[in-house]
């Protein structure tokens, strides 16, 4: 097993790419002294050709009107599948509350099955999850006045102290379909009036499946990319809050031009990779829109082909990358905001990243590594390596840099300035294509949150929590008696 992984990385390391900017020092001047390059076995990206100029029009041109729905989606897209919790975060009878797209959602596992309801009592609006109260396996009750809801349908089943009230059976709270797979709990976050009959399968909100679509989206290098829906697939990962709007976080995830940000990451240097200065699109067809009727909607980038060219030199700055050593990978993004990095951070894996809107300026950042483990031994070995390499060096070390990059954009985009004043360049074709496809295919724009944390930005409760040293959180903070 361990050898299997080692061989996996061996392949990766052989493919080429090394960042030559080792001497780069913050706030000081760099004299670029090209580093000796580790020999690469496959040099598919090592031939720097002349890059054609290609500019994507910026937001203040007419282009931005093509993604107006995206610009309107500060609170996210609804009527989509979102990850809510890992399976291990919700054991039998456990209750947790989360907020997605401004909608408070309570989850409870009963008899093994996970149920999800709107986490706002219809009576006086408190969150059921704040003080979990359940009298049986079929219902959840509000801790305040005992309004009791059917876990399946959300209908008001009874009121503890008012068992014959006329409201009973006639009203309810919205229920959300749940799909649990590969250690993850997904919730279909719907508008109150979105018909349950119209809920699509989870597969439509997950990346393109392989090898089923290997002909459509081929590449000689990719091993069959595992899916969460594969038999014996396992998802290992983390999730945490990001203090930015979900869209600028998404765009960071599919951005091919910010390799500079990652130059100092330990994983790069531990693997002895050499990264290019960046990747440039060599034509209009560098990205492919995913819009099969029954498939996920999004965009796939032809990384690792000659449709994207590595930049190895910047003469103006005297920077030169003499050769590349690295792991070949390919990225795509599908609605509602899920980035997939195929063949990363190791062989036979995919890293999935969701940017789940909480409010208009917070999101839950999910990083999950998917792998098929067909035997307990394989699983144990993968878990061992996950804990020692992938989580600390990839999910944290590498992606932690992305977190501050997203926070750095928040002031610019948070008040609307960025959408008007940004200046896009050739590589931003990724973000711009995503904006357009998301605008065309989303199933609904979330209304601004109402009656939930973050709907008002400035309640005294928020200041109280800050004064007490408590950050805003994704999960409901439960009341301690």
Q: Residues 276 to 315: which contact a second copy by CB under 8 A? A: 276-280, 311, 313-315
Q: Nearest approach, Cβ of 279 to a second copy (angstroms)?
A: 7
3-state secondary structure 85-109: EEHHHCCCCCEEEEEECCEEEEEEE
User: According to the binding rule CB under 8 A, does residue 11 interact with a second copy?
Assistant: no
- 3-state DSSP assignment of residue 128: helix
Comparison of 42 and 470: residue with beta carbon closer to a second copy: 470
Q: Nearest approach, Cβ of 241 to a second copy (angstroms)?
A: 9
Residue of 174, 227, 282, 362 that binds a second copy (CB under 8 A) = 362
Instruction: Give the pair of three-digit tokens for residue 136.
Output: 């049986």
Comparison of 68 and 459: residue with beta carbon closer to a second copy: 459
Other C-beta atoms within 10 Å of 461: how many? 10
Mask for 182-221, x = binds a second copy (CB under 8 A): ----------------------------------------
**Burial grade of 153 (CB within 10 A; 0-12, 13-18, 19 or more):** middle
Instruction: Give the pair of three-digit tokens for residue 258.
Output: 């910010």
- Chain-centroid distance of CA 178 in Å reads 18
Answer for the pair 125, 144: CB distance below 8 angstroms, yes or no: no
User: What are the backbone angles phi and psi of residue 19, rounded to the nearest 5°?
Assistant: -80, 120
Answer for the pair 300, 290: CB distance below 8 angstroms, yes or no: yes
Q: Rounded distance, CA 462 to CA 111, Å?
A: 36
Comparison of 409 and 438: residue with beta carbon closer to a second copy: 409
Report 379-438 residues binding a second copy (CB under 8 A): 401, 404-405, 407-415, 417-418, 421-427
**Burial grade of 43 (CB within 10 A; 0-12, 13-18, 19 or more):** middle
Q: Nearest approach, Cβ of 297 to a second copy (angstroms)?
A: 25
Q: Nearest approach, Cβ of 413 to a second copy (angstroms)?
A: 7
Mask for 15-34, x = binds a second copy (CB under 8 A): ---------x-xxxxx-x--
Q: Rounded distance, CA 312 to CA 358, Å?
A: 39
> Could you tell me the CA-to-CA distances from 362 to 14, 192, 242, 356, 380 in Å, in that order?
39, 22, 6, 9, 35
Report 164-183 residues binding a second copy (CB under 8 A): 164-167, 171
Comparison of 192 and 377: residue with beta carbon closer to a second copy: 192
Residue of 134, 199, 379, 381 that binds a second copy (CB under 8 A) = 134
Q: Nearest approach, Cβ of 301 to a second copy (angstroms)?
A: 15
Stretch that binds a second copy, among 4-12, 176-184, 289-297, 356-364 (CB under 8 A): 356-364
Residue of 1, 38, 122, 199 that binds a second copy (CB under 8 A) = 122
- Which residue do the tokens 């989606």 mark? 73
Comparison of 149 and 188: residue with beta carbon closer to a second copy: 149
User: According to the binding rule CB under 8 A, does residue 88 interact with a second copy?
Assistant: no
Q: Nearest approach, Cβ of 21 to a second copy (angstroms)?
A: 9
């Amino acid at each position: 097993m361990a050898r299997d992984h080692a061989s996996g990385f061996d392949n990766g390391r052989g493919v080429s790419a090394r960042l030559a900017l080792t001497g780069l020092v913050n706030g000081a001047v760099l004299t670029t002294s090209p580093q000796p390059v580790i020999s690469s076995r496959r040099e598919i990206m090592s031939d720097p050709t002349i890059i054609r100029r290609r500019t994507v029009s910026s937001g203040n041109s007419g282009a931005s009107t093509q993604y107006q729905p995206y610009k309107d989606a500060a609170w996210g897209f609804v009527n989509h599948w979102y990850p809510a919790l890992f399976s291990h975060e919700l054991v039998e009878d456990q209750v947790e509350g989360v907020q997605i797209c401004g909608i408070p959602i309570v989850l409870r596992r009963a008899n093994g099955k996970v149920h999800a309801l709107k986490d706002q009592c219809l009576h006086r609006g408190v969150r059921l999850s704040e003080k979990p109260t359940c009298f049986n396996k079929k219902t959840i009750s509000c801790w305040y006045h005992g309004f009791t809801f059917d876990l399946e349908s959300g209908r008001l089943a009874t009121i503890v102290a008012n068992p014959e009230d006329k409201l009973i059976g006639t009203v309810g709270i919205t229920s959300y379909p749940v799909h649990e797979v590969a250690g993850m709990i997904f919730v279909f976050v719907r508008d109150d009036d979105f018909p349950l009959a119209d809920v699509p399968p989870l597969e439509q909100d997950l990346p393109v499946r392989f090898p089923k679509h290997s002909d459509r989206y081929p590449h000689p290098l990719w091993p069959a990319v595992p899916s969460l829906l594969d038999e014996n697939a396992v998802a290992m990962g983390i999730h945490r809050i990001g203090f930015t709007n979900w869209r600028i976080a998404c765009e960071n995830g599919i951005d091919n031009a910010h390799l500079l940000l990652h130059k100092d990451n330990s994983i790069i240097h531990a693997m002895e990779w050499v990264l290019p200065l960046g990747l440039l699109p060599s034509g209009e067809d560098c990205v492919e829109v995913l819009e099969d009727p029954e498939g996920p909607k999004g965009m796939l980038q032809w990384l690792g082909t000659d449709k994207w060219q590595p930049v190895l030199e910047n003469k103006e700055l005297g920077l030169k990358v003499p050769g590349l050593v690295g792991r070949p990978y390919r990225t795509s993004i599908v609605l509602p905001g899920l980035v997939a990095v195929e063949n990363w951070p190791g062989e036979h894996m995919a890293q999935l990243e969701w940017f789940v809107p909480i409010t208009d300026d917070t999101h839950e950042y999910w990083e999950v590594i998917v792998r098929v483990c067909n035997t307990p031994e394989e699983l144990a070995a993968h878990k061992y390596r996950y804990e020692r390499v992938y989580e600390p060096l990839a999910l944290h070390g590498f992606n932690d840099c992305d977190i501050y990059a997203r926070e750095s954009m928040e002031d610019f985009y948070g008040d609307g300035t960025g959408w008007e004043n940004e200046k896009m360049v050739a590589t931003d074709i990724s973000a711009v294509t995503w904006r357009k496809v998301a605008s065309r295919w989303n199933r609904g724009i979330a209304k601004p949150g109402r009656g939930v944390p973050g709907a008002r930005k400035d309640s005294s409760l928020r200041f109280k929590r800050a004064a007490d040293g408590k950050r805003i959180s994704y999960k409901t903070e439960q009341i301690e008696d």
